[in-house]
Chain A
Amino acid sequence: MSDSTARPRAARRRLPRVNPVWLLLAALILAIVFMNPGFVEPTGYMNFLKRAAPLAILAAGQVYVIVSGGFDLSVGSLITLVVVGSSMLTNNDPSATVWVIPLMLALGLGVGAVNGAIVCFLRVPSLIATLGMMITLNGLAFLWSGGAPRGYLPDTFRFFGRELIKDVPLVRFIPVSVIVLVVVVGLLTWLMHRTNLGRQVHAIGDNPVAARLAGVAVNRVRITAFMLSGLSGALAGILLGGFAGVSTDVGTGYELQAITAAVLGGAQLLGGRGSVPAAVGGALALTAIFTLLNFLGLPQPVRQVVQGLILIAAVALAMHRREETGT
């Protein structure tokens, strides 16, 4: 017994364990490089990152909701609403971007707050609450555009999703969306893994009863998690509007891709454990898989089959790991 009186903090560290998502990503990138050596050039990997940026941002936001013990299915239609709404509001006026973008970010926060409030105060399970929100927002996007959205966003708006910053040393150019990605992911990583908010998001997903009895403002934390997911949806919409153009199905399927990415990154469904950087890794891996399928010339439906199988496999693997560790 006397040996345990030494300060426990000084005890030996555990071996660092690499999250399997990084190994998966490395393997996928090797495969891409093998099939397309041009990928090691800046045009190759920067374009890849640019394409992955909306999903990566979305996954980073989704992780907050998953770790808090919920799901956010509404972000895909939120993207659509942001893209359609921006095209309606800017109405080809380049100077409108200055107020439309903040408005769209506020819309994302607002949708998240409503999602959170429905879950907290009306006690609707988040899966159902955000499914309802998904259908509602989709309908709103259709109504707003009359089903036929105007096809253009002003270049000032598309700047974030499309433009490149040229003459950068080492890499030659950096897409603006990659800068947005790095900044957003950096902030969300810090918030999740270095602040009281992040620790409490983990706590309410792990054991909401214990968290409440310990004084955690459970509703406030949960609503904040949904608002961050909504904000990430709006940001992803702004980027996607920049390079994908305007349509009423621009965000379709993104919510499940974001959940798949988070789970690939090791986030525990039903809450308590998850990592923002690993979810971004999951998003990059998913994008890499789609890129490979493209190289192989496989059609869109195959993509869906693969994505569905990945989601199931990732969750099955997570459940297996959970049994092993006895969580």
Chain B
Amino acid sequence: MTAPAPGSAPMIEMKGITKTFPGVRALSDVSFDVRAGEVQALVGENGAGKSTLIKILSGVYRADSGAVLLNGEPVHFAHPVESLRAGIAVIYQEFSLLPERTVAQNLFLGREPRTRFGLIDGARMRRETREVLSLFAAAGRIDPDRIVGTLDVATQQVVEIAKAVSTGARVVVMDEPTAALNEAECEELFATVDTLRTRGVAIIYITHRMREIARLADRVTVLKDGEVAARFDEVPEPAEIVRAMVGRDIADFYAAPATAGEIGPPVLTVRGGGNAVLKGIDLEVKAGEIVGLAGIQGAGRVALAMALFGQAPFERGEVTLSGERVDFRSPRAAILGGVGLLPGDRKSEGLVLMQSVRDNGMLTSRAFAPLWASDRRNAHADTTGMDGLLDRMEIRAASYDQDIRALSGGNQQKAIVARWLSMRPKLLIFIEPTRGIDVNAKAGIYHLMRDLAREGAGILMISSDLPEVIGAADRVLVMQEGRIVAAFGRGASEQEIMHAATGGAEVAA
């Protein structure tokens, strides 16, 4: 495979693609191209049409009109296998690897080399696996005989990409590849993408994250409502991309910070808090302020949240809530004491998926009412009841009796917030409040957090999204290895925070 210089003719070209689903026009007249040896970032909100476009490229869907050209030749893929044979590999968020097989077996699945007796040539398979893996930074860690299911997510992703390379893929599509990765793993992935680029592979990189676009992309295409909203031949400022995605300015994306007058007395004070994960936690959150908590995966941020919430309690130290000493041993006790928590994983920790929007909102208030009380009590009242709260959240649902499963991530998140509004908590802990929700819904959540703070709650926000921590919080604390290692006021830079989070320096808190 020779690597053509970037800037040559497109390897893949999609022209005037239109696709309609019953009742929805998913794509209208979208044109898009990628050249060999370049990374083309494809960005847009959820529902903008990114996945549909990729599915048309890979033969999962067929376009109503328009053409797909591979090296200038029109192609018609009726099935993903055909596009794969033509050299187009799509790396989805869920991998296609077989978890019970070895790395080598996965790489050569369905095309195992044979000895002259017709048996599988294991030695050759291992040797060639090592050759392919040697292209990647993670190669040293990966044994071809390792069972894939025992590898971490980032390494599995490398194997998946290596598999694409070993089948001779000339076009690689990556669908939000960093969604499950931590900082260090992201860096490795970026190095992998660089390797592919220098080998002349054309890469389509789908992401939400501005930082990744700046780091990786050669060109950017923004989709909005099924149309190309903007095309950039050089990577522009993030603000410009966001404006194209959202269709409006981001001046009011984050809510205005707290003014001095809005910040009240401390609602939460922790002195010397510790348990198996946490060490010497000193922390104060005041009424009316939003405190951001940054750090890499495993730094103990979620452990701190769960300690405050009584799920994995502190074993040492003192916790004071609104001036009273407390020692919560269960979430129930913490909720009674005035703490609320929005979990980090909506599906597995937040929602009861088989129930309605209203039922999800009422879960907590029902848990503290008598067991035999009517389940409709306070359901429909307009201002004080759950429907009033759901109205206030501006939840988009056909009806509050609708199953919550059918709602978008942002609306599901709002229903969980509504759960806490009915309890009027003094301290609210948000864990990754905007993970997996689209840009407009994010802005909604930021303003909602600010409104709650203005009403007198103290808010602790844990987030792995640094621009969010910087933009939405009044102060930022940084955790590392179970300790709070740094504190910043408003206006801290991502570099400063990353430096503290990765142990660059022990900045005095």
Interface residues of A (CB under 8 A from B): 4-5, 7-9, 11-13, 191, 194-200, 202-203, 206-207, 209-217, 221, 224, 268, 272-273, 326-327
Chain A residues with Cβ below 8 Å from B395 are 8
Q: Is the CB of B375 within 8 A of A214?
A: no
Chain B residues with Cβ below 8 Å from A209 are 348-349
Q: How far is the CA of A206 from the CA of B404 in the complex (A)?
A: 13
Cβ-neighbour of A215 out of B368, B372, B380, B396 (below 8 A): B368
Q: How far is the CA of A11 from the CA of B370 in the complex (A)?
A: 31
Q: Is the CB of B311 within 8 A of A199?
A: no
Chain A residues with Cβ below 8 Å from B391 are 7
Q: Is the CB of B367 within 8 A of A194?
A: no
Q: Is the CB of B341 within 8 A of A213?
A: yes
Q: Is the CB of B372 within 8 A of A196?
A: yes
- Residue B399 CB within 8 A of the other chain: yes
- Residue B120 CB within 8 A of the other chain: no
Residue of A nearest to B332 (CB): A215
The 0/1 profile, CB within 8 Å of A marked 1, for residues 361-381 of chain B is 011101111111111100010
Closest 6 CB pairs of A and B: A197-B371, A206-B352, A215-B335, A11-B399, A215-B367, A196-B366
Chain B residues with Cβ below 8 Å from A4 are 396
Q: How far is the CA of A9 from the CA of B357 in the complex (A)?
A: 11
Distance between B474 CB and nearest chain A CB, rounded to angstroms: 26
Q: Is the CB of B352 within 8 A of A272?
A: yes
Q: How far is the CA of A32 from the CA of B364 in the complex (A)?
A: 48
Chain A residues with Cβ below 8 Å from B332 are 212, 215-217
The 0/1 profile, CB within 8 Å of A marked 1, for residues 318-351 of chain B is 0000000000000110011000010100001111
Q: How far is the CA of A214 from the CA of B331 in the complex (A)?
A: 8
- Residue B227 CB within 8 A of the other chain: no
- Residue B355 CB within 8 A of the other chain: yes
Q: Which residues of B from 296 to 332 have beta carbons under 8 Å from A?
A: 309, 311, 331-332
- Residue B289 CB within 8 A of the other chain: no
Residue of A nearest to B348 (CB): A209
Q: Is the CB of B363 within 8 A of A216?
A: yes
Q: Is the CB of B354 within 8 A of A211?
A: no
Q: Is the CB of B419 within 8 A of A214?
A: yes
Number of A-B contacts (CB under 8 A): 120
Cβ-neighbour of B375 out of A12, A194, A213 (below 8 A): A194
Cβ-neighbour of B371 out of A5, A195, A211, A213 (below 8 A): A195
Given A12-B399, A215-B331, 15 more A-B residue pairs with CB atoms under 8 Å apart are A11-B399, A194-B376, A195-B375, A196-B373, A196-B374, A202-B355, A206-B353, A210-B350, A213-B350, A214-B364, A215-B336, A215-B367, A217-B367, A268-B354, A272-B354
Residue of A191, A196, A206 with most chain B CB atoms under a 10 A cut-off = A196
Residue of A194, A200, A210 with most chain B CB atoms under a 10 A cut-off = A210
Q: How far is the CA of A210 from the CA of B424 in the complex (A)?
A: 19
Q: How far is the CA of A196 from the CA of B379 in the complex (A)?
A: 12
Q: Is the CB of B343 within 8 A of A196?
A: no
Chain B residues with Cβ below 8 Å from A11 are 398-399
- Residue B387 CB within 8 A of the other chain: yes
Majority secondary structure, A binding face:
helix
Q: How far is the CA of A130 from the CA of B377 in the complex (A)?
A: 35
Residue of A nearest to B398 (CB): A11
The 0/1 profile, CB within 8 Å of A marked 1, for residues 395-430 of chain B is 111111110010000000000000100000000000
Q: How far is the CA of A214 from the CA of B425 in the complex (A)?
A: 13
Known contacts being A202-B352, A206-B355, is A196 close to B399, with CB within 8 Å? no
Residue of B nearest to A224 (CB): B371
Known contacts being A196-B370, A213-B311, A214-B363, is A207 close to B348, with CB within 8 Å? yes
Cβ-neighbour of A198 out of B311, B352, B375, B398 (below 8 A): B375
Chain B residues with Cβ below 8 Å from A221 are 371
Q: Is the CB of B331 within 8 A of A212?
A: yes
Cβ-neighbour of B367 out of A9, A214, A224 (below 8 A): A214
- Residue B359 CB within 8 A of the other chain: yes
Residue contacts A-B, CB under 8 angstroms, 28 given: A7-B391, A8-B399, A9-B399, A195-B371, A195-B375, A196-B374, A202-B354, A203-B355, A206-B353, A206-B354, A207-B353, A210-B343, A210-B349, A210-B351, A211-B352, A211-B363, A213-B341, A213-B350, A214-B364, A214-B367, A214-B419, A215-B367, A217-B367, A268-B354, A272-B353, A272-B354, A326-B405, A327-B354
Q: How far is the CA of A273 from the CA of B405 in the complex (A)?
A: 14
Chain B residues with Cβ below 8 Å from A5 are 394
Residue of A5, A13, A209 with most chain B CB atoms under a 10 A cut-off = A209
Residue of A nearest to B362 (CB): A199
Q: Is the CB of A196 within 8 A of B353?
A: no
Residue of A nearest to B333 (CB): A215
Q: How far is the CA of A13 from the CA of B356 in the complex (A)?
A: 14
Chain B residues with Cβ below 8 Å from A207 are 348-349, 351-353
Q: Which residues of B from 226 to 252 have beta carbons under 8 Å from A?
A: none
Cβ-neighbour of A8 out of B341, B374, B397 (below 8 A): B397
Q: Is the CB of B331 within 8 A of A194?
A: no
Chain A residues with Cβ below 8 Å from B335 are 215
Known contacts being A8-B395, A206-B352, A207-B348, is A199 close to B331, with CB within 8 Å? no
Q: How far is the CA of A30 from the CA of B397 in the complex (A)?
A: 42
Chain A residues with Cβ below 8 Å from B341 are 213
Cβ-neighbour of B372 out of A7, A13, A197, A326 (below 8 A): A197
